[in-house]
Structure 1
């Protein structure tokens, strides 16, 4: 019997239709990465994206016998995934960032109780290579001229763009992603959503306008390009050095005047460089930290480890994603949820100060 590894896509499809699970897994394997990214854009959560992808692949396995090939296999899988996401959207609140949840605070002593539930936007890891509870995360998102890989474009997963998507009705969200990011035609998108090309075009216009109003200014990809590799490296190195030595004045030189610091699931966030400086000095640097570079959403970031007692290891306390503007840091978006940290596959501890092993 021929190995599934040697089969062509038509042969795999034929075998999958007869109930061969190995052929089905091999058939959909080339599309898993982009389908997961699609679910993340739709839902704003790596955990929800995993759930939606698993539901979608189970539905595709059950329905593969009815796939008649009128569209491409890729298009059919996107239809299954998109509709799974739309069902999840109808059952859950939108995912938001802190400024959309409540006003900024001034009092650094009262950060509020964590707000639980599926309401916070989550980061998308660019370059996590470790095994996660649900398999391996995608490889680094890179620029490419290959049309089949354009879903990897950095701006399509930037925090501001994904956050703006969450304010669209589900169908508009799907239309914008399918048409603008994945470049399906209006006719293909209409078939996926069981509607008409005219309705798709109308929804696309409304979605473009709404997202454009929420994402003014250059993309983070453009900001990073303007900064250049050397400039970005220098900014990251300066941030790490200043943070690890608790040097607030040095950090302030890296921030814009209107910088923000957010930390979901805590409701508190701080707006403006002076407020951020006060929070850093009074709360953040009460304990020592170590930072591990971590790219997320096509933006620079860090896994942040804190030590609460002398001689103990540094334990993962936050994942911070930086948003840049004109070569400085406009926003530090901190994600504090331990469950999210475990899902990202990051090490939960770094080496103890005495050189003990990492865990």
Structure 2
């Protein structure tokens, strides 16, 4: 049975965005998160008459969403980023594109506007953005699903241990033990939340990044990168290390990106750019969403999510043509 938003109680819809953020962190995919939230809304809609205010509506919705996510995660392999799969960078040659995996193998991007609350205070918005960073979401995938839920509810949403225990039908001691193990795993895989708001000088850096890319001035482009900058390009397993190799790639196998158009956006709590590559016969078509990591005034990492199946932009709600 399909239920559209117009049929849902407005009280349920008020929580859609924050639930999407929670499910995205749990599942590592904006698209899976949308499905999970829709299922949560349907289950809540069906059970609302029997709810009778036995607990706070928000807590009840999180209980449903958690169970939906745990069901989705049952038996699944964890999602990853290419650098998680191989300790060695690829060569900047076309042969490096030989290995490709389906979209279900990868942590997928999410636009900030899909999961960051407009009406939250600046400090809360900062937490929301930092906890959807790609590195953090990828690190979460190393946790068993219930530990993942405990960490998110306790560390990101700031629930009390007894509230989490009630949601998961377990004990406070069990919650505290799961949180301790989750923290240790996250520290081991580099998954700490680290707030790094953009400074004005970095905003200028992003303007120069767009300018260099659109002019396809690769010398100017790589000058904006750290010497050991990295880039990966899901759905391909390849990843590059070093601005020289990134520049070599862009002048070689990636040269089809010349004359692209760029649209600035924000994804995974970071600066991002939707790239539209020249289409054979004229015009431009969706090609990649680039999510940038900025550190100490230069670009440290580029996550380039390629839209090879002409589906990524549409599902994220990005324009299919540049303005």
Q: Does 1:294 align with 2:294?
A: no
Most deviating of 253-262 and 314-323: 253-262
Most deviating of 116-125 and 58-67: 58-67
Q: Does 1:98 align with 2:82?
A: yes
Which position in structure 2 is the counterpart of 1:123?
109
Cα 1:143–1:27 change in 2 (3 A) is closer
Which position in structure 1 is the counterpart of 2:190?
215
* Aligned-partner Cα distance in 1 for 2:117–2:161: 30
Select the residue among 337, 342, 345 that pairs with 2:314. 342
- Larger Rg, first or second structure (1 or 2): 1
Q: Does 1:203 align with 2:178?
A: yes
Native 8 Å contact 1:244 1:288 kept in 2:
yes
Q: Show structure 1 runs of 4+ deviating over 4 A.
A: 21-24, 138-143, 149-152
* Aligned-partner Cα distance in 2 for 1:306–1:82: 39
* Aligned-partner Cα distance in 1 for 2:28–2:267: 13
Secondary structure, aligned partner of 2:270: coil
TM-score, with structure 1 as normaliser: 0.81
The Cα shift of 1:182 comes to 0.7
Cα 1:142–1:166 change in 2 (3 A) is farther
Secondary structure, aligned partner of 2:228: strand
Select the residue among 67, 71, 91 that pairs with 1:83. 67
* Aligned-partner Cα distance in 2 for 1:272–1:218: 25
Which position in structure 2 is the counterpart of 1:190?
165
Q: Does 1:234 align with 2:204?
A: yes
Secondary structure, aligned partner of 1:329: strand
The Cα shift of 1:346 comes to 1.1
* Aligned-partner Cα distance in 1 for 2:159–2:212: 45
Most deviating of 110-119 and 324-333: 110-119
Alignment of 1:40-55 (within 5 A): 40-55=24-39
Query: How many residue pairs end up in the alignment?
Result: 314
* Aligned-partner Cα distance in 2 for 1:249–1:217: 34
Select the residue among 300, 308, 317 that pairs with 1:330. 300
TM-score, with structure 2 as normaliser: 0.90
For structure 1, the residue ranges without an aligned partner over 5 or more in a row are: 1-20, 128-136, 351-357
Which position in structure 2 is the counterpart of 1:271?
241
Most deviating of 299-308 and 90-99: 90-99
Native 8 Å contact 1:319 1:336 kept in 2:
yes
